[in-house]
C-alpha cells in the first residue's frame, strides 16, 4: 500500500480480554516499530523488528505484551489479559532498510489503533 496501515482504528474491550492489533508496513520497508502513546503523552517505545534479526523487545512493559512479524511484513501486537492501564493509542511505524541509497532515517507512521479497556 501507499502508507502504513493499522487495524482496527478503534478497539473497546473488557478488562481481562485479549486483543490483537495489526500493522501493515510500507512495501519494501524492512524495519518496523511499535510505540504506545497515552493521552497527552509522548511515545513509549515497545518493540522493534529489523529484517531477520532478533527483535528488540526491551520496551515491552510486561509479559502480557508480545509481537510478531510474519514473512518480514505484517506485524501483530498482542496484549493478553488487558488491564485499564493498557488503554492508549498504539502506533506502528516502518522505515526503509538503513544503508539503502535514499534512506533518510525517516519513520513512516500509521494512524494508530486506539485501545480502550473498560
**What is the Cα 44 distance to its own chain's centre?**
11
The least CB distance from residue 23 to other proteins, in Å, is 11
Question: Which listed residue (51, 57, 66, 83) binds other proteins by CB under 8 A?
Answer: 51
The least CB distance from residue 116 to other proteins, in Å, is 14
Joined together, the cell numbers standing for residue 31 give 524495519
Question: Which listed residue (27, 70, 84, 104) binds other proteins by CB under 8 A?
Answer: 104
The least CB distance from residue 89 to other proteins, in Å, is 8
DSSP letter at 83 equals -
48/65 with CB nearer other proteins: 48
Number of H helices, E strands in the chain: 0, 10
* 117 bridge partner residues: 13
For 37, residues 6+ apart whose C-beta sits below 8 A from its C-beta are: 43, 44, 88, 89, 90, 91, 112
16/28 with CB nearer other proteins: 28
Q: x/- binding map, residues 18-47, to other proteins, per CB under 8 A?
A: -------------x-x-x-----xxx-x--
Instruction: Tell me: does residue 14 bind other proteins (CB under 8 A).
Output: no
Joined together, the cell numbers standing for residue 27 give 512495501
Amino acid at each position: 500500500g501507499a502508507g502504513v496501515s493499522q487495524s482496527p482504528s478503534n478497539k473497546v474491550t473488557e478488562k481481562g480480554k485479549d486483543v490483537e492489533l495489526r500493522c501493515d508496513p510500507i512495501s519494501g520497508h524492512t524495519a518496523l516499530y511499535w510505540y504506545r502513546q497515552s493521552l497527552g503523552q509522548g511515545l513509549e517505545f515497545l518493540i522493534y523488528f529489523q529484517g531477520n534479526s532478533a527483535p528488540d523487545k526491551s520496551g515491552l512493559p510486561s509479559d502480557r505484551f508480545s509481537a510478531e512479524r510474519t514473512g518480514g511484513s505484517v506485524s501483530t501486537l498482542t496484549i493478553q489479559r488487558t488491564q485499564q492501564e493498557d488503554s492508549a493509542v498504539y502506533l506502528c511505524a516502518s522505515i526503509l532498510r538503513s544503508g539503502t541509497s535514499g534512506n533518510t532515517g525517516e519513520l513512516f507512521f500509521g494512524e494508530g489503533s486506539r485501545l480502550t479497556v473498560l
